[in-house]
Amino acid sequence: MISYKKIDMLNLHVVDDSIYYKDNELIIKSPIINYEIKDEKLMLKINDCSDLHIKFIDLCCYIERLFKNAKIKTDIIKNRNENYTRSILISIIENCKFYDIYKEEIFRSNIKSFGKIICSFLCKNGILILHEMLQIK
């Protein structure tokens, strides 16, 4: 797992429908960010006034471009919703790990439908897939 702040985009590439960083499959750690869960999708809400969020969205846009260049259909970035300019969509799958504010592992059913988190995710087949999610107070 690597923080979005430490990723050199020139070292990203597509291998077998997945994004790799140098020689390893990429797992990205997000900044602290507002989220909402809808239809088994985690929607990360970008604050366009935050330099950290702008760097994070730039990375996700580049990943989306890499998928498109590899002819892989993708729909990672959503523009213009009610309260935020842009959102990043992450799919929630069965084997994701969820943690509460005390860093204790919890069940998916105990996750709030909105709030603040730090999460990590993989990039496969044109989608972002949740790896781990930590709720923040």
How confident is the model at residue 81, as a pLDDT?
Answer: 56
How confident is the model at residue 78, as a pLDDT?
Answer: 86
Tell me the C-alpha distance between 13 and 30, whole Å: 19
* Full-model pTM: 0.91
How confident is the model at residue 86, as a pLDDT?
Answer: 87
Q: Domain segments of the chain: what residues?
A: 2-136
Summarised one tens digit per residue, pLDDT across range 59-106 is 999 999 999 999 999 989 988 655 557 899 999 999 999 999 999 999
Contact 59, 88 (CB under 8 A): no
Tell me the C-alpha distance between 132 and 42, whole Å: 12
CATH class of 2-136: mainly beta
How confident is the model at residue 82, as a pLDDT?
Answer: 59
Q: Which ranges in 4-135 belong to alpha helices (H)?
A: 51-69
